[in-house]
Structure 1
Amino acid sequence: MSILIGLTGGIGSGKSLAASYFREQGAKIIDADIISRQVVESGQPAWKEIVDEFGADFLNPDQSLNREKLATEVFQNEKKRTALESIVHPRIFSEEKKRYEEYSKSDSRAIVIIDAALLIESGNYKNVDKVVIVKTS
């Protein structure tokens, strides 16, 4: 039976390095950061909801999200941060689940790791079998 592990830790803690070690040993890695960018690409449902919620002022000339401007806005206002997370997190979780199921289908003994900085804060730790926290001192 496959296993789903959540890998998390602070910025600069070595999550990516740890993930690369697991990958070298045959684990399948799901990068939540990459998925978070994909789900908000121009034209995606989450992109439309974000534009509806925050306005076109948060778009670049090419219609992509101005992530820097949006980050500044949501980190200054908890209500807006919560609104953004309610749009993005379910889609990230859904895509992670889909990829896990694909890996499990192709290898019933797969070790699959979700590399996610916000695994705990987002509540996604509830969706994994085990959690590994990378910490440096």
Structure 2
Amino acid sequence: MKNKIFLLLLLLLIISFISNFYIEQKLNRTFSKISTESIKNLEYHSNKNFYENGIQNIGENLQKELITMDLGECRIKVRKDIFYFFQSKVVYVENDRRGIEIKSDYLVFNSMIKIKSFQNCKLKF
């Protein structure tokens, strides 16, 4: 009985590591694909471009911040979170002058990233 419980906990731990790694890689890939041009096009179009890339909605304020930062020149890093299954992730977008911390949820069943909020932050790299 103890062996079965131990194996179950070990299996859950392994699944947790794999799911966290997958979500972090997906967030990193998704934000890396976004260009400043596609953000500028959102001023006159819907969020269809981002929906196709797997981001549900970016919002007007975040759109302006990413345009002023010139997203193509920025470094992107996803905060590493361990031991939790489907929790929120934080994406840091930084250039030499400033940084933005974007809090997001990964909707597993929709395979979609939902941006909850963002704020300016100190440079972390």
* TM-score between the two structures when normalised by the length of structure 2: 0.28
Identify, as 1 or 2, the structure richer in helix: 1
Q: TM-score, normalised by structure 1?
A: 0.26
Higher strand share: 2
Structure number with the bigger relative contact order (C-alpha 8 A, sep ≥ 6) is 1
